[in-house]
Amino acid sequence: MQNKMISCPICSKEGKPDFILGTYTVRYCRDCDFRWVENLYEEKLIENSGYYWGKDFFEKQDNYLRQIWKREIENIIEISGRDSGNWLDLGCSYGYLISEAGKKGFRATGVEAVGDVAAIAKNRENLNIVHSLLSGLELPAGSFDVITMFDILEHLQYPAQSLEKVTKLAKPGSLLTIEVPFEGSLFRKLSYMTYRLSRGKLKKFVKGIFHEHPGGHRLGFSQKALDRFLKAYRWEPLRFEKTMMPFRFFMNETFRKRNPLQRFFWGIVYGTLYFVSILIGMQNRIKVYAKKI
Ligand SMILES: [Zn+2]
């Protein structure tokens, strides 16, 4: 089996090595404005929720997460023009999105690769959750009206095969929503600058963006990359939105494992960058709504 992805998964041209990060390398396709980790590993189901960086946080923020998803469901109803049908949420985590979609009248199915997370969600509300990787997922073709992929695509090793599968599962005219970390974010541009100015010696910040471990972030999408990628698999992007990770999540992630002095220092630095990102339109996430053609 090939253990490196040299060609751009979107256009198949050879990518140039962009960040050499010791044991792994990030490649870049100029035509697509797209980055990916070239090193591959064997994908497998993950049985332990310790994998989630935000496990404690997610479990305790039930109401807050439900509020976020209720707003998102309203967006999707407005854009798709439908308020019923089959909803598939890939990477459904603790299942709050499918729970709320179910209350709105959709027949909602979630797919989750982390076994004990899937079990917690199932036991809490008897939700329809399939414990599977996207690559091994067996559901009827052409059966979903709405498919959502929040914070999942950037973790996948084989984005082309994954999106091809999503296209197969979708009905004609259905709506796909994808949200991923944004390549054009201020945080990323500054991190890349630290690498380039140090001539590749300062790898820390880029290593925080692209990971080599299974389940880490492997893909970096610009708006151009998302647009090309979707169009290649019969999806017409209707709307792109740059968004910011909610401040509570952001601070939770930033301050994990830091001592009080570091918290104070990084709180000021990151807090300032957070709000400047919004002011100048370089948010850290991008969301797209696309229709199957
Ligand atoms: Zn490309």
Question: By C-alpha distance, which of 170, 105, 96 is closest to 129?
Answer: 96
Distance 161 CA to ligand 1 centre (A): 15
Q: Which residues surround ligand 1, an ion (CB under 5 A)?
A: 8, 10-11, 29, 31-32
3-state DSSP call for residue 124? helix
For residues 235 and 241, the answer to whether their CB atoms sit within 8 Å is: no
Looking at every residue in the chain, the average pLDDT score rounds to 92
Distance 153 CA to ligand 1 centre (A): 17
Distance 11 CA to ligand 1 centre (A): 4
For residues 225 and 34, the answer to whether their CB atoms sit within 8 Å is: yes
Q: Which domains does the chain have, with CATH numbers?
A: 16-292 (3.40.50.150)
For residues 182 and 131, the answer to whether their CB atoms sit within 8 Å is: no
Give per-residue pLDDT as tens, 171-224: 999 999 999 999 999 999 999 999 999 999 999 999 999 999 878 899 999 999
Exposed e or buried b per residue across 5-40, where buried means at least 16 C-beta atoms within 10 angstroms of its C-beta: beebbbeeeebeebbebeebbbbbbeebbbbbbbbe
Distance 16 CA to ligand 1 centre (A): 10
Distance 277 CA to ligand 1 centre (A): 27
Q: pTM of the prediction?
A: 0.93
Distance 133 CA to ligand 1 centre (A): 25
Under the banding of pLDDT at 50, 70 and 90, the label for residue 242 is: very high
Alpha helices of 198-291 — where are they, by DSSP H?
Answer: 204-207, 223-232, 247-255, 260-279
Which strands sit side by side in the sheet containing 25-29, from one edge to the other? 16-20, 25-29, 34-37, 219-221
Distance 67 CA to ligand 1 centre (A): 37
Q: How far apart are CA 287 and CA 233, in angstroms?
A: 17
Residue 70 has pLDDT above 60, yes or no: yes
